[in-house]
């Protein structure tokens, strides 16, 4: 059992997390979008071109508790829905919702995802999709949740109260039955989270700016034998002013029912994952992250759970299952 001074962890760590990772501080730091261990099942959140690619009406819910036992640690929830549309199912339409809380900051967004697909070959069902994402982002920051050294600091006199900003993004996604790769930028807008007028035109006001986040994801399904499949995948995320994030994962799928595997996030964490195909249309996934950085001394790791519902409207969709 870990013993530590919670006041120290709250004062020194929460402050850094809240303002370096989410809204920026007085230096030119940029924020990072939420991270996911089971990114291979949550692709629509960052890439709108994924919408409709499963060729079924699909719903997904994910919950993540990061750095358990650390006061003010991130808590994230996502909801996705997407389906193919159009006469030839060559378009996809979906909805993505993200709720992310860290310390005094709560950020949520709701966007509509649209994709258009081109079928490149009939034999291996390969498709190239182009996607657009558009919606709104809302940020709320309650400074009263912070242990502020100087309560009269002008930087903390004007809380952010449900500030709404537009969000526009795009992506490209290629997939066959066993391979996929995608590149995306979920938000092209460099939105400022603070109003200069509210801080009397002080220099502090203009530095909390959202930077462009670039995502690349790819994976493959290898048939080892009739009852065992191997599914490696990787995700690379880049944002200016923040360290490169690189995730490398591998899952074994047993009898197309049980998935067991692990993941490594470069210089950050080691993860264990498992998944259960409860029925033809229901998949449940679980993940645990063990931190490999100094923050492990203040937390008991991170937990993540997801559930996906697929509604099949054609018999052939059942005969050609997708594994991502």
**Cα 43 to Cα 323: distance, rounded to the nearest angstrom:** 13
Q: Could you read off the pLDDT tens digit of each residue along the chain, which spans 324 residues?
A: 333 333 333 333 444 444 443 333 323 333 467 889 999 999 999 999 999 999 899 999 999 999 998 888 899 999 999 999 987 779 999 999 999 998 888 999 999 999 999 988 776 678 999 999 999 999 988 877 777 656 666 666 666 777 899 999 999 999 998 999 999 999 998 766 554 444 444 444 444 566 789 999 999 999 999 999 999 999 999 987 778 899 999 999 999 999 999 999 998 899 999 999 999 899 999 999 999 888 888 888 999 999 999 997 665 554 455 678
Domains of the chain with CATH codes? 6-319 (2.40.160.40)
- The DSSP secondary structure of 14-57, one letter per residue, reads IHHIIIIIII--SSS--------TTGGG-GGGT-GGGTTTTSSE
Q: In the prediction, which pLDDT does 160 show?
A: 73
Structure tokens at 150: 């100087």
* Residue 160 exposure: Cα atoms within 13 Å on the Cβ side: 23
Q: In the prediction, which pLDDT does 208 show?
A: 53
Strands 222-225 and 213-220, by their bridges, are unpaired
Q: In the prediction, which pLDDT does 294 show?
A: 83
Dihedral (Cα; 250, 251, 252, 253), 10-degree rounding: -150
Q: In the prediction, which pLDDT does 271 show?
A: 96
Secondary structure of residue 315 in the 3-state scheme? helix
**Cα 289 to Cα 243: distance, rounded to the nearest angstrom:** 19
**Cα 33 to Cα 48: distance, rounded to the nearest angstrom:** 16
pTM reported for the whole predicted model: 0.82
How many residues would you count in the chain? 324
Q: In the prediction, which pLDDT does 52 show?
A: 93
Q: In the prediction, which pLDDT does 21 show?
A: 39
User: Contact 218/232 with Cβ under 8 angstroms?
Assistant: no
Burial of 147 (0-12, 13-18, 19+ CB in 10 A): exposed
DSSP state letter for 88: T
């Amino acid at each position: 059992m870990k013993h530590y001074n919670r006041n120290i962890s709250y004062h020194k760590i929460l402050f850094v997390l809240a303002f370096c990772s989410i809204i920026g501080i007085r230096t030119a730091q940029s924020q990072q979008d939420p991270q996911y261990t089971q990114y291979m099942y949550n692709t629509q959140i960052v890439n709108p071109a994924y919408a409709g690619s499963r060729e079924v009406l699909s719903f997904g819910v994910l919950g993540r508790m990061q750095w358990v036992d650390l006061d003010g640690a991130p808590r994230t929830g996502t909801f996705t829905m997407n389906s193919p549309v159009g006469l030839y199912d060559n378009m996809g339409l979906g909805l993505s919702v993200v709720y992310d809380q860290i310390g005094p900051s709560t950020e949520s967004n709701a966007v509509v995802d649209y994709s258009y697909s081109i079928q490149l070959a009939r034999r291996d069902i390969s498709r190239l999709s182009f996607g657009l994402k558009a919606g709104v982002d809302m940020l709320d920051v309650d400074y009263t949740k912070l242990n502020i050294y100087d309560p009269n600091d002008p930087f903390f006199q004007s809380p952010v109260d449900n500030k709404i900003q537009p969000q526009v993004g795009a992506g490209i996604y290629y997939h066959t039955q066993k391979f996929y790769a995608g590149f995306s930028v979920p938000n092209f807008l460099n939105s400022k989270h603070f109003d200069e007028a509210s801080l009397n035109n002080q220099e502090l006001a203009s530095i909390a700016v959202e930077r462009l986040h670039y995502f690349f994801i790819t994976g493959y399904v290898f048939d080892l034998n009739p009852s065992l499949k191997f599914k490696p995948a990787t995700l690379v995320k880049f944002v200016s002013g923040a360290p490169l994030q690189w995730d490398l994962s591998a899952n074994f799928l047993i009898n197309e029912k049980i998935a067991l595997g692990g993941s490594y996030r470069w210089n950050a964490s080691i993860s264990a994952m498992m998944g259960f195909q409860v029925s033809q249309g229901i998949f449940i996934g679980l993940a645990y992250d063990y931190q490999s950085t100094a923050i492990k001394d203040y937390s008991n790791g991170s937990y993540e759970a997801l559930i996906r519902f697929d509604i099949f409207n054609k018999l052939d969709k059942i005969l050609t299952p997708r594994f991502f």
